[in-house]
Amino acid sequence: MPTPSGNRPTGASKANTNAPRKRVAVSQEPRQASDDAPVRRGRAVRRVSDLTVQREKLHPAKAKSGDEEIIRVKTGVDRTMLVLILILLSLGSIMVFSASYPSALAERGDSLFYIKKQLLFIAVGLGAMALASIVPPSLYKKVSIIAFAVALFLLVIVLIPGIGISNGEARRWLGLKGTPFTFQPSELMKVALVMVLAWYLDRFRDAVLDRLDKKKYILYGTLFPCALVGLACILVMLEKHLSGTIIVGMIGVCMMFIGGVHPGWMSAVVGVGGLGAIAAFLAANPYAWKRITSFTDENADKLDEAWQTTQGLYAIGSGGALGVGLGASRQKYSYVSEAQNDFIFTIWCEEMGFVGAVVLIVLFLLFIWRGYVIAMRAPDTFSALLVFGIISQVGIQAFLNIGVVTDVLPNTGIALPFFSYGGTSLIILLAEMGIVLSVSKHSYQKK
């Protein structure tokens, strides 16, 4: 006989209590709130101390039996990543001063010239990082196409004589007349390319991963993303910036690979297009080809084309196991050219020794590991790809720089992130770190 509602037998009540319940996404306000978990009406959000707990329904294809809900805890920025960033930035600032004061005194009459400007760049960069960490990842997704379009526009106008500022063979900078500040559009393109590829690979995810429709995955999953990378590389190459072109291309390949682009077709397109473009660049720019031939020639003139690399190796070798001591480098006295820029790692090795070199490499590895952890915990595909691309960019650039100064790779201008002197690169790098920290706020989740 049916039992009226509210007068159920005790046994039925217990059976109902012990039966497994299907967890569903919460869309109504919580029934009860404790003193330390006040309820904000209108949303399924509970404040627990300084944490925000949000319940999100899993995609049906990913939901498992009895587990259709995750609890995502919105916290502050990832403290481990923030500490690593500040450590690298602090060590870099110290080395900029140590490596630059002899040349600053000789060329500018002020031994603090470079470090004062670097501290100004750091102050601006930290402000950009703080601002970027406040912006939610969803907003970066909305402005991805705009950022890429702006970067393309700046790369075009920097090539116009009278607008772009040239330095020797290269025309890579924009600046206002009468001011000492310049801007390098290729640095903006690095992060803009990461953003637009993250947007594209998220927006056309199904087409990129579809292996049943060959026409679709070749068109959407290979040609279109490769076209975005190729366009960026061509414009950077026209600046006669080979190292920047290589970095942009490697960032694009990493993004496409992790985003699910068909590896075979991607390798074919990138291999043919990339090798052809590099060959054309070397043919049109003899100075770049000379760097490669001097790298492969053991008898290259150590007083001419191989001067900087040779002096950098002398600096590394002079450091020994424990280094000559902070500030005591001898090679920075007009031997290693521009010691505060691309070859700053050699001065670090001379002053801090083999142990210091290993410590710095480990710090970069920890930075990369923590960044990938944040990417894997990201709340959506776009955020995950965005963080993966930014961290990969820093890792690629760091280890290419170390490879160049240790004569493992041909000598080309590649800055060491957080260490090399520079305004545009450092400010944009710290803004990128702000983006990573922004995603990290949403990257802690519990089932």
Q: How confident is the model at residue 35 (pLDDT cuts 50, 70, 90)?
A: very low
pLDDT greater at residue 22 or residue 301: 301
CA–chain centroid gap for 267, Å, is: 23
**Comparing C-alpha atoms, which of 353, 314, 347, 308 is closest to residue 329?**
347
pLDDT at 26: 41
Average pLDDT over residues 356-370: 97
Tell me the C-alpha distance between 401 and 409, whole Å. 9
pTM higher than 0.85, yes or no?
no
Handedness of CA 117, 243, 376, 55 (dihedral sign): positive
pLDDT greater at residue 158 or residue 168: 158
pLDDT greater at residue 22 or residue 112: 112
For 421, the token pair is 């002197």
The β-bridge relationship of strands 182-183 and 444-446 is: unpaired
pLDDT at 324: 95
pLDDT at 168: 62
Q: What values do phi and psi take at 174, rounded to 5?
A: -115, 145
Q: What radius of gyration, in Å, describes the C-alpha atoms of the chain?
A: 27
Tokens 């403290």 belong to residue: 79
For 205, the token pair is 């995810």
pLDDT greater at residue 303 or residue 389: 389
β-partners of residue 39 are 46
**Comparing C-alpha atoms, which of 420, 432, 440 is closest to residue 125?**
432
- Least trusted range by pLDDT, from 169-173, 229-233, 371-375, 392-396: 169-173
Question: Length of the chain, please?
Answer: 447
Per DSSP, 330 falls in state S
For 344, the token pair is 């700053």
Q: Under a CB-based contact definition with an 8 Å cutoff, are residues 170 and 241 in contact?
A: yes
pLDDT greater at residue 240 or residue 311: 311
Burial category of 391 from C-beta neighbours within 10 Å (exposed 0-12, middle 13-18, buried 19 and up)? buried
Q: Is the pLDDT of residue 212 over 90?
A: no
pLDDT at 177: 58
Report the share of the chain in percent with pLDDT over 70. Answer: 78
Three-state SS annotation for 131-186: HHHHCCHHHHHHCHHHHHHHHHHHHHHCCCECCEEEECCEEEEEECCCCCCEECHH
β-partners of residue 51 are 48
pLDDT digits (tens, 9 = 90+) for 389-403: 999 999 999 999 999
Sheet strand arrangement including 51-57? 39-40, 45-48, 51-57, 69-74, 444-446
Q: Is the pLDDT of residue 245 over 70?
A: yes
pLDDT at 286: 76
Tokens 């150590």 belong to residue: 302
pLDDT greater at residue 325 or residue 35: 325
Q: What values do phi and psi take at 332, rounded to 5?
A: -75, -10
Q: Which region, left, alpha or beta, applies to residue 144 given φ > 0 means left and ψ of -120 to 50 means alpha?
A: alpha
pLDDT at 374: 95
The β-bridge relationship of strands 51-57 and 69-74 is: antiparallel
Average pLDDT over residues 189-216: 90
Average pLDDT over residues 268-293: 80
Q: Is the pLDDT of residue 27 over 70?
A: no
pLDDT digits (tens, 9 = 90+) for 50-72: 444 444 443 433 444 344 455 56
* Cα atoms in the 13 Å half-sphere on the side-chain side of 124: 14
Q: How confident is the model at residue 178 (pLDDT cuts 50, 70, 90)?
A: low
pLDDT at 208: 86
Handedness of CA 407, 411, 417, 418 (dihedral sign): positive
Query: Distance of CA 267 to CAs 57, 224, 226, 264, Å?
Result: 37, 14, 10, 5
